[in-house]
Amino acid sequence: MDITQFRRNIERLFDIPTAQLPPEAGAIFQEFKSLLNTGAIRAAERTASGWQANAWVKQGILIGFRLGKLVDMSINAQFQFFDKDTYPLHKFTASDSVRIVPGGSSVRDGCFVAAGVICMPPCYINVGAYVDEGTLVDSHALIGSCAQIGKRVHVSAAAQIGGVLEPVGAVPVVIEDDVFIGGNTGVYEGTQIGERAVLAAGVVLTRGSVVYDLVNERVLMATKESPLQIPAGAVVVAGSRAVTKSEFARDYGLSVSSPIIVKYRDVRTDASTALEDTLR
Ligand SMILES: CC(C)(COP(=O)(O)OP(=O)(O)OC[C@H]1O[C@@H](n2cnc3c(N)ncnc32)[C@H](O)[C@@H]1OP(=O)(O)O)[C@@H](O)C(=O)NCCC(=O)NCCS
Protein backbone atom coordinates (compact mmCIF):
# COMPACT_ATOMS: atom_id res chain seq x y z
CA MET A 1 0.00 0.00 0.00
CA ASP A 2 1.09 3.55 -0.74
CA ILE A 3 1.06 5.06 2.76
CA THR A 4 1.69 8.58 1.45
CA GLN A 5 -1.43 8.43 -0.70
CA PHE A 6 -3.37 6.88 2.18
CA ARG A 7 -2.22 9.66 4.48
CA ARG A 8 -3.47 12.27 1.98
CA ASN A 9 -6.88 10.58 1.97
CA ILE A 10 -7.09 10.81 5.76
CA GLU A 11 -5.98 14.45 5.79
CA ARG A 12 -8.57 15.26 3.12
CA LEU A 13 -11.36 13.55 5.08
CA PHE A 14 -10.33 15.29 8.29
CA ASP A 15 -10.97 18.70 6.71
CA ILE A 16 -14.50 17.78 5.59
CA PRO A 17 -17.35 18.62 8.01
CA THR A 18 -18.84 15.46 9.54
CA ALA A 19 -22.24 15.83 7.85
CA GLN A 20 -20.57 16.03 4.43
CA LEU A 21 -18.19 13.09 4.74
CA PRO A 22 -18.40 11.02 1.50
CA PRO A 23 -19.80 7.44 1.52
CA GLU A 24 -16.32 5.92 1.03
CA ALA A 25 -15.14 7.45 4.35
CA GLY A 26 -16.30 4.38 6.32
CA ALA A 27 -14.26 1.95 4.19
CA ILE A 28 -11.18 4.20 4.33
CA PHE A 29 -11.51 4.35 8.12
CA GLN A 30 -11.79 0.54 8.40
CA GLU A 31 -8.59 0.20 6.35
CA PHE A 32 -6.92 2.82 8.53
CA LYS A 33 -7.89 0.91 11.67
CA SER A 34 -6.50 -2.36 10.34
CA LEU A 35 -3.16 -0.62 9.69
CA LEU A 36 -3.19 0.55 13.33
CA ASN A 37 -4.03 -3.01 14.48
CA THR A 38 -1.03 -4.49 12.65
CA GLY A 39 1.32 -1.74 13.79
CA ALA A 40 1.98 -0.71 10.17
CA ILE A 41 1.16 2.87 11.17
CA ARG A 42 1.45 4.43 14.61
CA ALA A 43 0.56 7.68 16.35
CA ALA A 44 4.19 8.59 17.04
CA GLU A 45 7.58 7.24 16.10
CA ARG A 46 11.20 7.75 16.91
CA THR A 47 13.18 9.78 14.37
CA ALA A 48 16.80 10.95 14.37
CA SER A 49 15.69 14.07 16.25
CA GLY A 50 13.55 12.27 18.83
CA TRP A 51 9.92 11.18 19.08
CA GLN A 52 7.54 12.81 16.61
CA ALA A 53 3.75 12.63 16.52
CA ASN A 54 2.15 11.46 13.29
CA ALA A 55 -0.61 14.05 13.30
CA TRP A 56 -2.43 12.40 10.39
CA VAL A 57 -2.74 9.14 12.35
CA LYS A 58 -4.35 11.02 15.23
CA GLN A 59 -6.62 12.73 12.69
CA GLY A 60 -7.66 9.30 11.41
CA ILE A 61 -8.57 8.23 14.95
CA LEU A 62 -10.68 11.36 15.40
CA ILE A 63 -12.46 10.68 12.07
CA GLY A 64 -13.49 7.34 13.59
CA PHE A 65 -15.20 9.13 16.47
CA ARG A 66 -16.95 11.48 14.02
CA LEU A 67 -18.16 8.60 11.81
CA GLY A 68 -19.24 6.38 14.68
CA LYS A 69 -22.85 5.91 15.73
CA LEU A 70 -23.72 5.06 19.31
CA VAL A 71 -24.86 1.43 19.38
CA ASP A 72 -25.81 -1.20 21.90
CA MET A 73 -22.78 -3.48 22.38
CA SER A 74 -24.28 -5.38 25.31
CA ILE A 75 -23.32 -9.02 25.88
CA ASN A 76 -26.66 -9.70 27.56
CA ALA A 77 -29.27 -7.84 29.58
CA GLN A 78 -27.03 -7.81 32.65
CA PHE A 79 -23.73 -6.94 31.00
CA GLN A 80 -24.44 -3.78 29.06
CA PHE A 81 -22.18 -1.59 26.93
CA PHE A 82 -22.89 1.35 24.63
CA ASP A 83 -20.28 2.94 22.40
CA LYS A 84 -19.49 4.17 18.88
CA ASP A 85 -19.79 1.37 16.33
CA THR A 86 -16.45 2.39 14.80
CA TYR A 87 -14.65 1.38 18.01
CA PRO A 88 -15.67 -2.11 19.09
CA LEU A 89 -13.23 -4.32 21.00
CA HIS A 90 -10.02 -5.39 19.29
CA LYS A 91 -10.26 -8.94 17.94
CA PHE A 92 -7.57 -11.43 18.91
CA THR A 93 -6.93 -15.09 18.17
CA ALA A 94 -4.65 -17.43 20.12
CA SER A 95 -2.16 -17.25 17.23
CA ASP A 96 -1.53 -13.59 18.13
CA SER A 97 0.32 -14.93 21.24
CA VAL A 98 -1.14 -12.19 23.42
CA ARG A 99 -2.30 -13.35 26.87
CA ILE A 100 -5.50 -11.69 27.97
CA VAL A 101 -6.02 -13.26 31.33
CA PRO A 102 -9.73 -13.80 32.01
CA GLY A 103 -11.42 -11.26 34.24
CA GLY A 104 -12.47 -8.03 32.63
CA SER A 105 -9.76 -6.31 30.57
CA SER A 106 -10.66 -4.32 27.47
CA VAL A 107 -8.53 -3.64 24.42
CA ARG A 108 -10.15 -1.22 22.02
CA ASP A 109 -9.95 -1.74 18.28
CA GLY A 110 -7.35 0.37 16.47
CA CYS A 111 -4.33 -0.33 18.62
CA PHE A 112 -1.26 -2.56 18.24
CA VAL A 113 -0.57 -5.23 20.85
CA ALA A 114 2.50 -7.31 19.98
CA ALA A 115 3.14 -11.00 20.53
CA GLY A 116 4.17 -11.85 24.07
CA VAL A 117 2.19 -9.05 25.72
CA ILE A 118 0.34 -10.05 28.91
CA CYS A 119 -2.80 -8.20 30.03
CA MET A 120 -3.72 -8.87 33.66
CA PRO A 121 -7.33 -8.14 34.55
CA PRO A 122 -8.68 -5.60 34.68
CA CYS A 123 -6.64 -3.37 32.41
CA TYR A 124 -7.57 -1.07 29.55
CA ILE A 125 -5.71 -0.39 26.31
CA ASN A 126 -7.17 2.50 24.33
CA VAL A 127 -7.25 3.35 20.64
CA GLY A 128 -3.98 4.35 18.99
CA ALA A 129 -1.85 2.70 21.68
CA TYR A 130 1.20 0.73 20.58
CA VAL A 131 2.34 -1.95 23.04
CA ASP A 132 5.45 -3.79 21.96
CA GLU A 133 6.69 -7.36 22.51
CA GLY A 134 6.90 -8.93 25.92
CA THR A 135 5.33 -6.04 27.84
CA LEU A 136 3.26 -6.78 30.94
CA VAL A 137 0.21 -4.63 31.64
CA ASP A 138 -0.82 -5.41 35.19
CA SER A 139 -4.21 -5.14 36.89
CA HIS A 140 -5.96 -1.77 36.98
CA ALA A 141 -3.37 -0.30 34.61
CA LEU A 142 -4.39 2.08 31.82
CA ILE A 143 -2.60 2.44 28.50
CA GLY A 144 -4.17 5.67 27.26
CA SER A 145 -4.97 6.65 23.69
CA CYS A 146 -1.93 6.82 21.41
CA ALA A 147 0.53 5.92 24.23
CA GLN A 148 3.67 4.27 22.83
CA ILE A 149 4.99 1.46 25.02
CA GLY A 150 8.27 -0.30 24.16
CA LYS A 151 9.46 -3.88 24.48
CA ARG A 152 9.64 -5.75 27.82
CA VAL A 153 8.13 -2.84 29.75
CA HIS A 154 6.58 -3.66 33.12
CA VAL A 155 3.48 -1.55 33.71
CA SER A 156 2.68 -2.37 37.34
CA ALA A 157 -0.68 -2.56 39.02
CA ALA A 158 -2.73 0.66 38.93
CA ALA A 159 -0.19 2.54 36.78
CA GLN A 160 -1.90 5.12 34.61
CA ILE A 161 -0.33 5.94 31.27
CA GLY A 162 -2.29 8.94 30.07
CA GLY A 163 -3.74 9.37 26.61
CA VAL A 164 -2.89 12.26 24.31
CA LEU A 165 -5.23 12.39 21.32
CA GLU A 166 -5.60 16.14 20.97
CA PRO A 167 -4.06 18.42 19.89
CA VAL A 168 -3.17 16.18 16.94
CA GLY A 169 0.38 17.56 16.78
CA ALA A 170 1.17 16.71 20.41
CA VAL A 171 3.50 13.76 21.01
CA PRO A 172 1.77 11.13 23.17
CA VAL A 173 3.26 9.54 26.27
CA VAL A 174 6.25 7.40 25.31
CA ILE A 175 7.69 4.60 27.46
CA GLU A 176 10.82 3.15 25.87
CA ASP A 177 12.14 -0.44 26.00
CA ASP A 178 12.85 -2.20 29.30
CA VAL A 179 11.34 0.52 31.49
CA PHE A 180 9.86 -0.42 34.87
CA ILE A 181 6.75 1.58 35.76
CA GLY A 182 6.01 1.01 39.45
CA GLY A 183 2.63 0.51 41.04
CA ASN A 184 0.24 3.42 41.39
CA THR A 185 2.27 5.71 39.14
CA GLY A 186 0.97 8.21 36.59
CA VAL A 187 2.65 9.36 33.39
CA TYR A 188 0.75 12.08 31.58
CA GLU A 189 0.82 14.87 28.99
CA GLY A 190 3.39 13.52 26.56
CA THR A 191 6.06 12.72 29.15
CA GLN A 192 8.79 10.47 27.74
CA ILE A 193 10.54 7.80 29.79
CA GLY A 194 13.95 6.76 28.43
CA GLU A 195 14.88 3.10 28.09
CA ARG A 196 15.62 1.06 31.23
CA ALA A 197 14.42 3.89 33.48
CA VAL A 198 12.56 2.97 36.66
CA LEU A 199 9.65 4.85 38.22
CA ALA A 200 9.26 3.87 41.86
CA ALA A 201 5.79 3.22 43.16
CA GLY A 202 3.67 6.34 43.43
CA VAL A 203 5.64 8.66 41.12
CA VAL A 204 3.46 11.03 39.07
CA LEU A 205 4.89 12.88 36.08
CA THR A 206 3.09 15.58 34.08
CA ARG A 207 4.21 18.48 31.88
CA GLY A 208 4.36 20.58 35.02
CA SER A 209 6.56 18.24 37.06
CA VAL A 210 9.96 19.47 38.15
CA VAL A 211 12.36 16.56 38.50
CA TYR A 212 15.60 16.84 40.45
CA ASP A 213 18.52 14.70 39.27
CA LEU A 214 20.69 14.16 42.34
CA VAL A 215 23.36 12.30 40.38
CA ASN A 216 24.00 14.93 37.71
CA GLU A 217 22.85 17.87 39.84
CA ARG A 218 20.40 19.22 37.28
CA VAL A 219 16.72 20.07 37.14
CA LEU A 220 14.55 18.54 34.42
CA MET A 221 11.27 19.95 33.19
CA ALA A 222 9.19 20.30 30.06
CA THR A 223 9.68 23.34 27.85
CA LYS A 224 7.36 24.96 25.32
CA GLU A 225 9.00 22.90 22.59
CA SER A 226 9.58 19.60 24.33
CA PRO A 227 7.87 17.39 26.90
CA LEU A 228 9.38 16.25 30.18
CA GLN A 229 12.01 13.62 29.36
CA ILE A 230 13.29 11.16 31.92
CA PRO A 231 16.80 10.04 30.93
CA ALA A 232 17.61 6.42 30.12
CA GLY A 233 18.31 4.34 33.22
CA ALA A 234 17.16 6.98 35.71
CA VAL A 235 15.62 5.68 38.96
CA VAL A 236 12.90 8.17 39.91
CA VAL A 237 11.27 8.16 43.35
CA ALA A 238 8.46 10.31 44.74
CA GLY A 239 9.89 13.37 46.49
CA SER A 240 9.01 16.87 47.55
CA ARG A 241 10.46 20.36 47.63
CA ALA A 242 9.76 23.18 50.04
CA VAL A 243 7.54 26.04 48.95
CA THR A 244 9.50 29.12 49.94
CA LYS A 245 8.01 31.86 47.83
CA SER A 246 5.45 33.07 50.34
CA GLU A 247 5.52 33.70 54.05
CA PHE A 248 2.30 31.72 54.40
CA ALA A 249 3.90 28.66 52.79
CA ARG A 250 6.99 29.03 54.93
CA ASP A 251 4.92 29.47 58.11
CA TYR A 252 3.04 26.27 57.44
CA GLY A 253 6.11 24.36 56.22
CA LEU A 254 4.41 23.51 52.92
CA SER A 255 5.98 21.42 50.23
CA VAL A 256 4.91 20.24 46.77
CA SER A 257 5.50 16.94 45.11
CA SER A 258 8.73 16.82 43.13
CA PRO A 259 10.07 13.53 41.80
CA ILE A 260 13.76 12.87 42.39
CA ILE A 261 16.28 10.84 40.39
CA VAL A 262 18.12 9.16 43.25
CA LYS A 263 20.45 7.05 41.11
CA TYR A 264 20.88 5.47 37.72
CA ARG A 265 20.02 1.84 37.30
CA ASP A 266 22.51 -0.67 38.70
CA VAL A 267 22.53 -4.36 39.60
CA ARG A 268 20.59 -3.66 42.76
CA THR A 269 17.81 -1.99 40.76
CA ASP A 270 17.82 -4.89 38.31
CA ALA A 271 17.30 -7.25 41.25
CA SER A 272 14.51 -5.05 42.69
CA THR A 273 12.65 -4.99 39.40
CA ALA A 274 13.43 -8.48 38.07
CA LEU A 275 10.48 -10.09 36.38
CA GLU A 276 9.54 -13.61 37.14
CA ASP A 277 10.18 -15.39 33.84
CA THR A 278 8.24 -18.45 34.91
CA LEU A 279 5.03 -16.39 35.07
CA ARG A 280 5.40 -15.37 31.40
C1 LIG B 1 12.77 2.12 42.90
C2 LIG B 1 12.91 0.71 43.43
C3 LIG B 1 12.86 -0.24 42.25
C4 LIG B 1 14.19 0.55 44.20
O5 LIG B 1 15.31 0.69 43.34
P6 LIG B 1 16.77 0.35 43.89
O7 LIG B 1 17.73 0.63 42.78
O8 LIG B 1 16.77 -1.02 44.47
O9 LIG B 1 16.93 1.44 45.04
P10 LIG B 1 17.90 1.39 46.30
O11 LIG B 1 17.36 0.47 47.32
O12 LIG B 1 19.32 1.19 45.84
O13 LIG B 1 17.71 2.86 46.85
C14 LIG B 1 18.42 4.00 46.38
C15 LIG B 1 17.96 5.20 47.19
O16 LIG B 1 16.61 5.52 46.84
C17 LIG B 1 15.77 5.44 47.99
N18 LIG B 1 14.54 4.80 47.56
C19 LIG B 1 14.41 3.59 46.98
N20 LIG B 1 13.13 3.34 46.69
C21 LIG B 1 12.44 4.42 47.10
C22 LIG B 1 11.07 4.78 47.06
N23 LIG B 1 10.17 3.94 46.53
N24 LIG B 1 10.70 5.96 47.53
C25 LIG B 1 11.59 6.81 48.06
N26 LIG B 1 12.92 6.54 48.12
C27 LIG B 1 13.33 5.35 47.65
C28 LIG B 1 16.52 4.59 48.99
O29 LIG B 1 16.14 4.88 50.30
C30 LIG B 1 17.94 4.95 48.70
O31 LIG B 1 18.22 6.20 49.31
P32 LIG B 1 19.67 6.48 49.97
O33 LIG B 1 20.65 6.39 48.81
O34 LIG B 1 19.52 7.85 50.53
O35 LIG B 1 19.87 5.40 50.97
C36 LIG B 1 11.76 0.37 44.43
O37 LIG B 1 11.75 1.30 45.49
C38 LIG B 1 10.38 0.39 43.82
O39 LIG B 1 9.69 1.37 43.79
N40 LIG B 1 9.99 -0.76 43.29
C41 LIG B 1 8.72 -0.88 42.61
C42 LIG B 1 7.70 -1.59 43.46
C43 LIG B 1 6.47 -1.76 42.66
O44 LIG B 1 5.84 -0.81 42.24
N45 LIG B 1 6.10 -2.99 42.37
C46 LIG B 1 4.94 -3.23 41.56
C47 LIG B 1 4.65 -4.67 41.43
S48 LIG B 1 3.04 -4.82 40.67
Return mean pLDDT, the chain: 96
272 lines ligand 1 (CB under 6 A): yes
Domains observed in the chain: 3-70 (1.10.166.10), 97-266 (2.160.10.10)
* Any ligand 1 atom below 6 A from CB of 150: no
Q: Which atom of ligand 1 is nearest to the CA of 138?
A: 48
Tell whether ligand 1 has an atom less than 6 A from the beta carbon of residue 157: yes
pLDDT in tens, 57-77: 999 999 999 999 999 999 999
Q: Would you state the pLDDT for residue 280? A: 74
Residue 182 beta carbon below 6 angstroms from any ligand 1 atom: yes
> Widest CA span of the chain, in angstroms?
66
What pLDDT does 1 receive?
78
**Dist CA 238 CA 200 (whole Å):** 7
Distance CA 274, CA 265 (A): 12
Q: How far from 38 is each of 85, 107, 258, CA to CA, in Å? A: 20, 14, 38
pLDDT of 278 reads: 66
Q: What string of pLDDT tens digits covers the 280 residues of the chain?
A: 799 999 999 999 999 999 999 999 999 999 999 999 999 999 999 999 999 999 999 999 999 999 999 999 999 999 999 999 999 999 999 999 999 999 999 999 999 999 999 999 999 999 999 999 999 999 999 999 999 999 999 999 999 999 999 898 899 999 999 999 999 999 999 999 999 999 999 999 999 999 999 999 999 999 999 999 999 999 999 999 999 999 999 999 999 999 999 999 999 999 999 876 667 7
Residue 18 DSSP one-character state: G
